[in-house]
Amino acid sequence: MKTHKILTLSLLLLTTLVTQAQTWQWAKSGGSSATGQDNSNREAIATIVTDSQGNVYTLSYLGGTDAVVNGVPRTTYNFGDDDRDALICSYTCTGALRWTRVLGGWNSDKISNMGIDENDNIYIALKRVVGLSEIPDTNTHFEPSVILPMSSEFESTYKETLFLVKYNSNGDLIWYRTPQAPNLSYIEGWYSISYDLSVDPQGNSYWYCALYDGTYANGAYTVNSAINGSNHILKYDADGNFVTGIPISIRPFNGYSSYPGEGFKFKRNHNNGKFYFVGSLTNLGAIINGQEYTPLDFDKYVCAFDSDGTFLWLKHNINTDARSIYDFSSTYSAHDIAFDSQNNIYYTGAGDSLITYIGNTSGILSVTADGWNGQYFTDFDNTIFSFYKVLVKMDENGNNVWLTNSFGSDEYNAVELSIFVNNDEIITGSGAHNFKWQGITNLNPLGNFCTCSRASITRFNKNTGAILGVDFATGFPGSSSTFSRLAIDNNGSIYAGGSLTSAVTIASTTLYTNGGPDDFLLAKFGSNNCTFLGTTTNEQDKTEFFPNPVNNELTVVSKEVLSYELFDSLGKKVQSGIVE
């Protein structure tokens, strides 16, 4: 047998060229006419992920009245105007809807997050409202065919509320797991919470939960706290097997009444295995590493824990009022965190000036800018009250590398924010009205007194924080749109998700809401290249290409002599040769 020849090719990263060619490609929306939405269950995209073949997946809420996706009616399971199901949508690179799945039951189930592994399987964590036999048709559904059983409210069966669900790339249900005991009471299930989820490339799920005292994972994990409830990270492997539980010393809002995602986010850096929490102390505060903090100490924070749950550090803003680095206390809150390959940390949030009043709120004595980790933001007007967006780069130990901020004169300057690292770029998504950032001024064509925002993405240089470009959707008087979640495909195209009210125009397509206050919004910004290099094996000559997806290097394994050509995401040939 001939020895396999292996060639490693360095792919060119033509970031500048790709960026210049990026434009809005398409936009999609969906929602219901249900009007009983609040910040915790708005019909907005909560998560976006992309796979190796260029498909995109979104997770959002969906009301039960006149629900549609891409204009097509969709069956839901919730009962009332205030209730929501979880909705998963999958689209192709060209924007065609591949499939949808609705998860939920009769009441408002709470979605936590969605992740994807290197084999294009997706994982969803949620907390359901259990079905009760006293109320017909209240079962929980995990489409396409799983309907969970139910019993009486007073029977300790079928009261599990926390679920981790796995689907493959075609939307087929692979498995679902609950860590809770089968003899759980209604109250015990109610007081447990699924907060957030982080999934690594191998399909390991790191599930951040608040757990009532008791045994979990078929007796493999025990929770016994002094306060009858504590927070933990539960690890499951790709096959749904429980691996371990990690107690974690952070308790948002000093209690268990908050909804998943409200005021904070949890992410694992899969490169170094550390856990990070970014949060808000608005109104109620938090307990971090045994220390109780309130808005009188600070308002926004990032804290880090080692892979075994050991507390590492806490960093926060400077001002001590609850309006600093502003947060709307919604599932799609105004802060996010991301990492690069060197384990640097990027934090984005929205803030406002600290005001000192003369006697009462009728007279302003002074206005002071906020800051981060002892360093003040510098771009602000010290004579007027101001809202602004911030972006901070920290090293792995939480030390500031650089920080930058926008300046604006109205509340709609900074709403929901998301962040993503792409090669040498930092990409943030938000909604904006009027703002000024590093000399770039956005004057809203709808007028300074229009209480509306336009969805936007802003690109920054990762090393310096300098703005590379800002791109907006087109709004209408009285309408608002925002991008609260971001993802990127292997060709460098950006997928931005969020919400719209009334109407928005993207890529010459105008989308309208379905009658409720919000609909979810998904848009693609990038190139029209939908060719993706996958792992291929030819049975005749046993040629293999890996890894899939390609990052910086492509390895070719073959028994035969091969010629090759490499193309960038715009279709331009950048390298060719022969493998001998």
Phi-psi region of 403 (alpha: psi -120 to 50; beta: other; left: phi over 0): beta
Q: How far is CA 141 from CA 77, 104, 133, 242, 359, in A?
A: 8, 5, 15, 23, 56
Average the pLDDT over each of 45-54, 57-66, 229-238, 242-251 and give the range with the smallest value. 57-66
Top mean pLDDT of 333-342, 383-392, 427-436 is at 333-342
> Is pLDDT of 252 > 50?
yes
Mean pLDDT over 377-398 rounds to 75
> Averaging pLDDT over each range in 261-270, 354-363, 370-379, 491-500, which range is the top one?
491-500
**Can you spell out the DSSP letters for 236-293?**
E-TTS-EEEEEE--EEETTSS-SPTTTTEEEEE-TTT--EEEEEE-TTT-EEETTEEE
pLDDT of residue 132: 84
pLDDT average, residue stretch 547-570: 53
- Tell me which range, 270-279, 460-469, 504-513, 560-569, is most confidently predicted by mean pLDDT: 270-279
What value does the mean pLDDT take over residues 269-273?
96
Per-position DSSP letters for 34-68, written without gaps between them = -----TTS-SSEEEEEE-TTS-EEEEEEEESSS-E
**Where is average pLDDT lowest: 128-142, 330-344, 446-460, 465-479?**
446-460
Residue scoring higher pLDDT (193 or 166)? 166
Q: How far apart are CA 422 and CA 22, in angstroms?
A: 14
Taking the C-alpha atoms of residue 136 and residue 134, their distance in angstroms, rounded to an integer, is: 6
* Mean per-residue pLDDT over the chain, rounded: 77
Amino acid 228: pLDDT: 58
Among 166, 110, 118, residue whose Cα is nearest residue 142: 166
* Nearest Cα residue to 216 out of 168, 161, 171: 161
